[in-house]
Amino acid sequence: MFSQQKLKTLLKISFFISVITKVNSEGKINCKITRDYLHANCSHRQLNEVPTDLPKTLLSLDLTGNNIEVLSNNSFKHLTLLQNIIIDNNRLLNIESMAFTGLGRLHKLSLVNNNLTYDYETFPVDVFQPLKMLKKLNIYGNKCFENESTHYPDVSFSFLTSLEHLTIDLCKYPIFGKGFKDLHNLKKLEFKQCYLKRLENDTLKVFSGVILELHMTQCLDIDTTVEYGSLEGMERLSVLNMENTRISLPSALRLLYGIQNNLMKIVNFYQVSDQNFFREGKRFAVILTKSMTIYLMKMCIKNLNIGNNGIVEYEKDSLFGFKHAGCLEHFYFSENRFVILNGWGSNEFFQFFTKAKKLRELNFSYMPWKFTRYDNTFNISSSKLVNVFLPCPENLHTINISHVLADANLHYNGTLIGCNTLSVIDFSYTTFEDLYFDFHG
């Protein structure tokens, strides 16, 4: 005799089998559906539209890599529990205005790499209206207007009042209208595929006051004459990632004007200078001056990356003269070409090191300063070593000074005291000669 429980299970199993069979017999859909009917994977199945007979219980639906051109009205009408939809790498040209009807619980929507144009024809005004709970929208890899302004359909986007994370193309001449102001919950604005030509005071104004994170990476065609008020009003910004956005280091540093009083978790200016600057009469080599870094030196920053920017020299107080050195935890200035431990520079650096009490990682690898000639003309033992005693920052974990080509003219015998947490110190491929460090603790 079956217990009721067993009977239920049996019924469930037979139901499961019948559904799978039905889908298979149609020979069309063949989505991979999990046994609990919660997740359907319909990726790479040459679908031209959203399948119509998917289980109502679905929480997630993956339609990556199909041939869907139009998201028709009511495509998801019966899939009201869906939380996550992925329609990447299709041929989407058009979204009908009722396409997302019923998706009041959707959290994540991804439409990456399609053929969508940023206008009202593609994104009808009320198309996003049903998506009241949408937190994450991923829509980069679509079509920007090339030689004219792209006026993003801001009214359509204005319905996404729960949105926290938007990933979108940054077109050549973008206009972000007032509708974006309604995205009160937007925390992270991430531009992928950047065609931006000019960064101006007004370009991102509509997002200011709201966003915590701005990721604007890989803008390779951007003009170096950015307006320095462009980040003004971004009072809540704590992550600024401009890696590989070629505005030049001096311009990048000037941008900090607008956020000079912010507490920053990350400022990433890795390779914002372009070795092809010569084309614009700009130089790759940068001599940091005090006025260039006036905002940087004022700021409290946890993670700072100014690697690979052609820095060849720096003035006093322009690089290690942080007012809030105590904020820094990770400091990268690898792949530049300047000398640190020389003359006043050493003193400044040692002072910085003493003040940077939260420092966890210091990375100045890959710095070619000068080749050492190993021809015995230089008499090492004749130079007098200077003893330096430095307290270790409490949490210092890694010092990376690998691949530094320096001359042998460094006469330091440093003693680092209290390095309890230091676990990595990498001096590999580095040619210092007269430099000794003892570690105590």
Ligand X SMILES: *[C@@H]1O[C@H](CO)[C@@H](O)[C@H](O)[C@H]1NC(C)=O
Query: What is the contact surface with ligand X in residues (CB under 6 A)?
Result: 41, 43, 62, 73, 91, 96-98, 115, 146-147, 201, 227-229, 232, 307, 332, 334-335, 363, 365-366, 379, 381-382, 385, 387, 398, 400, 402, 413, 415, 424, 426, 436, 438
- Nearer of residues 183 and 304 to ligand X, judged by Cβ: 304
- Nearer of residues 306 and 339 to ligand X, judged by Cβ: 306
Work out how close the CB of 146 gets to ligand X at its nearest, in angstroms, rounded to a whole number.
Answer: 4
Q: What is the identity of the amino acid at 341?
A: L
| Beta strand pairing call for 300-305 and 330-332 | parallel
- Nearer of residues 314 and 332 to ligand X, judged by Cβ: 332
- Nearer of residues 187 and 312 to ligand X, judged by Cβ: 312
Provide the token pair at 88.
Answer: 């990447």
Contact of 403 with 378, CB cutoff 8 Å: no
Work out how close the CB of 143 gets to ligand X at its nearest, in angstroms, rounded to a whole number.
Answer: 7
- Nearer of residues 25 and 381 to ligand X, judged by Cβ: 381
| Beta strand pairing call for 108-110 and 150-151 | unpaired
Work out how close the CB of 5 gets to ligand X at its nearest, in angstroms, rounded to a whole number.
Answer: 31
Cα(437)–Cα(48) distance, integer angstroms: 66
The Cβ-side half-sphere exposure at 333, using a 13 Å CA radius, reads: 17
- Report the alpha-carbon angle 419-425-426, nearest 5: 170
Cα(99)–Cα(74) distance, integer angstroms: 5
Work out how close the CB of 100 gets to ligand X at its nearest, in angstroms, rounded to a whole number.
Answer: 11
- Nearer of residues 229 and 321 to ligand X, judged by Cβ: 229
Nearest residue to 182 via CA among 212, 206, 152, 203: 206
Cα(165)–Cα(188) distance, integer angstroms: 5
Work out how close the CB of 260 gets to ligand X at its nearest, in angstroms, rounded to a whole number.
Answer: 12
Tell me the sheet residues that pair with 151: 175
Dihedral sign of CA atoms 242, 246, 249, 250 in order? negative
Residue whose token pair is 């974990």: 397
Work out how close the CB of 96 gets to ligand X at its nearest, in angstroms, rounded to a whole number.
Answer: 4
Chain position whose Cβ is nearest to ligand X: 229
H/E segment holding residue 346: helix 344-355
Cα(34)–Cα(435) distance, integer angstroms: 62
- Nearer of residues 183 and 249 to ligand X, judged by Cβ: 249
- How far from each other are the two terminal CA atoms of the chain, in whole angstroms? 73
Work out how close the CB of 201 gets to ligand X at its nearest, in angstroms, rounded to a whole number.
Answer: 4
- Nearer of residues 4 and 381 to ligand X, judged by Cβ: 381
Work out how close the CB of 14 gets to ligand X at its nearest, in angstroms, rounded to a whole number.
Answer: 26
